[in-house]
Structure 1
Amino acid sequence: MKSYEVNFDGLVGPTHNYGGLSYGNVASQSNSQQSSNPKEAALQGLAKMKALMEMGFQQGVLAPQERPDVAALRRLGFSGTDAQVIERAAKEAMPLLVASCSASSMWVANAATVSPSADTADGRVHFTAANLNCKYHRSIEHPTTSRVLGAMFANQQHFAHHAALPAVAQFGDEGAANHTRFCREYGEAGVEFFVFGRSAFDNRYPAPQKYPARQTLEASQAVARLHGLRDEGVVYAQQNPGVIDQGVFHNDVIAVGNGEALFYHEDAFLDTEQMLAELQGKLARVGSNFQSICVPRSAVTVDDAVRSYLFNSQLLSRPDGSMLLIVPQECQANERVWNYLQGLTSSGGLIREVKVFDLKQSMQNGGGPACLRLRVALNETELAAVNPGVIMTAPLYGSLTAWVEKHYRDRLSETDLADPQLLLECRTALDELTQILKLGAVYPFQIN
């Protein structure tokens, strides 16, 4: 039976704005308060989805969330009509309104952790929505994330869904941004690689001093238990706290893996040699020929990696066994990064080609190609059980681009977030989107 890695890209929401909400994310903070272009952002993301589909890769789409989140503001004491809640929040606590308007759910690498059926005890694909409790604006996402994923992967014979972990610091979970799966073939048993920034209960693990470590060891272990993963099919590794303090807020900013390959920066991990040996050994047991590609700091600095998002790229397997790297334009603009990539692809190694995409709107808010996609390994039967409305096709691309052109603004500033009309625009757009994607009622305004 054939198997595939399907990339489900997040569709940028109508309230895409530069709120500067993510402490520890250099791009997010440095572009704070600039005006954004939600329409351009959504169209850039859709163009990437279309291009990958046309290259022969399986591609899907994951819907954005309702914003502003009026219910979240009500839980914080704002009352009245929806318009009054927004107006009061803008007057009394603008930072809370900005947070409630964040379109950060577009970065669906943080939506959940996914384990394919070949790895799990019950032979189903398992999803655990990430609690994202390190940042308030992201911590409010997981209820809707769970409903959307449930509507996309509804067949209980093939798919199992778990609620987010307890929303406390000890179980901080940032989803697939800190999770990679290695395997020989997507439908065969593999090894799941969990990267954590700190331990909540074991002080033997060093922690960063400047920026928060968002993923805990305990959260990763809990997800592995929920998914029924075997000990021999899991490797835990600690992210280097020194690079977290340089702006590497997730592992996918400093490393990316796929199939039998790990592409990483020399400074990405603690105890790198021990980690690589464990990966090599466990993958050898399932017949996989694991390879690691280390980018030396002498060629690309951590600062280069953070500013270019070299590692926040998509590493995709081609039928001939080679790999394609999808990178943002910022990599081409960085001389050291681009020189390294030119040498990499001409060396005859595993990564043979690099394709560059314009994702400026997302990049300015701190999310690159890898942030925008959630990877789900599926066999033919499981792929057939996915809601067909979310699988990218040429007609769906046409429908979604027309939908964006119809509903999205081409400029959004912080003052625009106080306009109650923006909520009505968002709800109108999302109500139409659920019909396009055949999701049913997944948003609070559709349910309540």
Structure 2
Amino acid sequence: MSDHRRLGRELDLFDTDPLIGAGLPYWLPDGATVRHALEEYVRDLERRAGYRHVYSPVLGKRELYERSGHWAHYGADMYPPMRLGDEQFVLRPSLCPHHAVIYRSRPHSHRELPLRIAELGGQYRSELSGVLGGLSRVRAMQLNDGHIFCTTDQAAGEARAALELIRTAHAAMGIGPVRYRLSLPGAGGKYVADPDLWQRAAAVLTEVLSGLPYDAVEGEAAFYGPKIDVQIMDDAGRESTLSTVQVDFYQPERFDLHYIGPDGAKHRPVMVHRSIIGSLERVVAHLVELHGGAFPAWLAPTQVVILPVSAAELSAAGALARRCLDRDLRAEVAGPDRGSLGARIRDARLVPYQAVVGAHEAAGDLISLRLRDGRRLDARPAEELLARISAQVDARALALW
């Protein structure tokens, strides 16, 4: 059974230190490379789907979270405020209040809607030390978050489109959802007391889930509205939520958001929250366990390892590495100083493509390519093989060849 905490350290992806604190992992170069590849991918996916990207501060005044409802309904999971003069500032537990403020900072017409904004931003949760673990449960996380401001008539279509983006991203990462969950409110004071709000939002999400298998579960909703949770499962059979789509009628009212309709009057927008790949920490934890460190080529920290048979081919290997870099392929040379060719091949067993360069290959600008899955290709022109590898990586294909 793969455990991302063990594998992540063995593969030099991330680590922790008691001097930094529990639940606050740091990313090592190879882990940062995987994370960066995911960031680039999801930003491009969102951009093509009509999202505009923003940045917002990780701090906010206490009044911001009182307005959003987090202070009253989510305060137990927030860090205590920091006093600066006469003001109190809080590490944000979510990005939605900032995005609501960004929306209201400019006037909007119905012609602009739906307005889609997204951000890869930090958020912070005051988790108890007993529930922390590796990357899957942390106190500081980078969330792929986004919010759509739309009319009531547009809400179901926008939520459905967000769910389709989630499916696309999961397919590219090799993730198969276990199930969809319609998360509804439960008993107690955790949830906003507005039955009409809940009924309207749940009706939208039920329409989105029409034709899909799902389970309705009480007590798992956000405090301001119901949500669709895309559930995944780890090797130990533990289920968790990776991606979500939420419909929110509450915060647009709290922040007095509006747009000018075709009748010239002010109307209240609906706020659709969605996270395509969830937090980068949790998705990387799942990918490490899912693939056992053998990531799809587009995510692999090193995509091509170049293996000169002897010192005589080091110059040719270095030139090949530069050609890989020119194609935006992540490549490194593993020379004979690292051991025998067989030992270097074993050391590179998780690298998708292993390019062997002997005297014959160096003289003819050829590569003898070995694939991670054990397949071997006869010596072929280097340009032909690099073009094929680049095409697979650019397409974010799961297949190596």
Q: TM-score range by the shorter chain?
A: under 0.3
TM-score, normalised with respect to structure 1 = 0.22
Q: Which has the larger radius of gyration?
A: 2
Structure with greater proportional strand content: 2
Structure with the bigger RCO (C-alpha within 8 Å, sep 6+) is 1
TM-score, normalised with respect to structure 2 = 0.24
